[in-house]
Amino acid sequence: MFSLELYREQLLQLHDHICPRQILGLRMGELAGRLLGLSLPRRDKRLFVFVETDGCFADGVMVATGCSLGHRTLRLMDQGKVAATFVDVLGDSRVGLRVWPRPTIRQQARMWCPDLSSRWHAQLEAYQRMPDDMLLAWAWVRLQISVKALISRPGARVTCDQCGEEIINERERWVNGARLCAHCAGDSYFVVLDADSSAPRADASVAQYVGALRDEVPAD
C-alpha cells in the first residue's frame, strides 16, 4: 500500500509543495523495486535508472529509489516523457524495466475523486490510491546503450590533446589519432566566443526573447 508519508519530508526538502508528477515518480520507483526484487531506497549502486524527463517527476523517482546524479546511478535521457527505465546492474545490464503512466489516468483521477476542487487535486489524491495496473504500464526492454560503459571505471582520466582539459569516465573521442574531448571533436553544446567579443547582457537577451515570443502570438 502506497504511503506518501514515507517520502513527504524528503520531497519537501526539494520542493515547496508536493505535486502529482512527484507521486508518479514515487509509484514508478516502488513498482520497479517490486518487479526487480530489490529493496528500496538503495544505499549501493546496484540499481541504475534512466529518466525520460527532468523536473519534479525525476525527483520522485530519485527519492523512491535512492538513485541520483551525484551517485552516478541516475541519468537523464530527455525524451519529454514521464517515464523511466530501471536496470539491475548485477543482472543483464542490457535489460531494463521501463515504466510509464497509462494515458487515461487524468480522466480516471476525476472518477476516483469527483468531489475535489480541481483536476490537479484529484490527480494528487487519486495517484496515491489507484492500483498499479490502473495507474502504470510497464515492459521489459533491451537497451541500445551500455550501462557499464556509462558507469565507466574508477580513476579513468585523460587529457584532451587539443584544449588540455581533463576528461573523465572514458568520454574521450579519437579523431585522426588525436585524443579529444567531445567539444574539440565537434560534439558540443556551446560555442566559445571570440576573445574580442562579449556576451550579450542578460536583461537585453531576455527582452529580445520575450519580444520574439510576443511577435509570434496571434492578435485577438
Enter the C-alpha cell of residue 189: 553544446
SS3 137: strand
pLDDT in tens, 175-196: 999 999 999 999 999 998 876 6
pLDDT in tens, 5-42: 999 999 999 999 999 999 999 999 999 999 999 999 99
The chain-wide mean pLDDT, for the chain, equals: 90
> Has residue 150 got a pLDDT over 50?
yes
> Has residue 104 got a pLDDT over 60?
yes
> Has residue 113 got a pLDDT over 80?
yes
Q: For residue 202, what pLDDT band results from cuts at 50, 70 and 90?
A: very low
Q: State which amino acid sits at residue 119.
A: R
pLDDT of residue 29: 98
> Has residue 128 got a pLDDT over 90?
yes
**Residue 109: which residues within 8 A CB-CB, separation 6 or more?**
119, 122, 123, 125, 126, 127, 130
Domains of the chain: 4-149 (3.30.1330.130), 152-216 (no CATH)
State the average pLDDT over residues 195-206.
53
Whole-model pTM: value is 0.85
Enter the C-alpha cell of residue 168: 573523465
Give bridge partners of residue 95 from the DSSP assignment. Answer: 142
Give percent of the chain above pLDDT 90. 83
pLDDT of residue 209: 47
